[in-house]
Amino acid sequence: MKLYSDAYAPNPRRVLWLMAEKGIADIEVVHVDLAGGAHRAPRFLDMAGVSAVPQLELDDGEVLGESLAICRYLESLYPKPNLFGRDPLETARIEAWTRPGRADVRYPPDARGALRPPGAGGRGAQPVPRARRHRTGDGRCSASPVRAPAG
C-alpha cells in the first residue's frame, strides 16, 4: 500500500500518527508537494479523483480517501495497539475526544490543555475552541486557533 501525504498537512499527519503508534512500516509514504501543486497534477488526479491528501492506494489499485476512513481501515488491518476503543463507551469517548482534535490538530502547545483528555488537568473537559481554517495561498492548509478567553 502507499500513503500519499504531505509533510506540512494536518490531515495526512493524523494517519501518520496512527501508523507510528502501531509501528506500521510496510506502507510506503509518498510525498505529494501541496505547495508545488502536485495534488492538482493530472497524474495525482487520475489516481485519487480529488486534489487532496491523504489518499491510501491499496495493492489492488483501489484508492481510499478521508483521513478518518483510512485510520479506521488501518485499525482493522493492524488492531494493536487498539486506538478506536474496545467497548461502546471507550469508543464513544475516543470519538468525542478526537473529533474536535481533528479540526484543531494544528493547535500549538499553548492551546492551554484543550486537547488533553478529561481528567488530565487543564481544560480537558471543556469545549475546544474553534480553529479558523485558512489556506496559506500556496496550497497548504493551516489554521489560526481562536484565542481562548483569558482566565
Ligand X SMILES: N[C@@H](CCC(=O)N[C@@H](CS)C(=O)NCC(=O)O)C(=O)O
Q: Is 142 in the site for ligand X (CB under 6 A)?
A: no
CA-angle at 44, arms to 21 and 140, nearest 5°? 65
136 Cβ contact partners less than 8 Å away, ≥ 6 residues apart: 142
CB atoms under 10 Å from CB of 10, counted, come to: 20
Task: Tell me the one-letter amino acid at 124.
Answer: G
144 is written with which cell numbers?
489560526
Considering only 3-11, 17-25, 75-83, 105-113, which stretch makes contact with ligand X by CB under 6 A?
3-11
Contact string 8-37 vs ligand X (x = CB under 6 A): -xxx----------------------x---
- Pick between residue 98 and residue 148 the one whose CB is nearest to ligand X: 98
Binding site for ligand X (CB under 6 A): 9-11, 34, 39, 51-54, 66-67, 139, 141
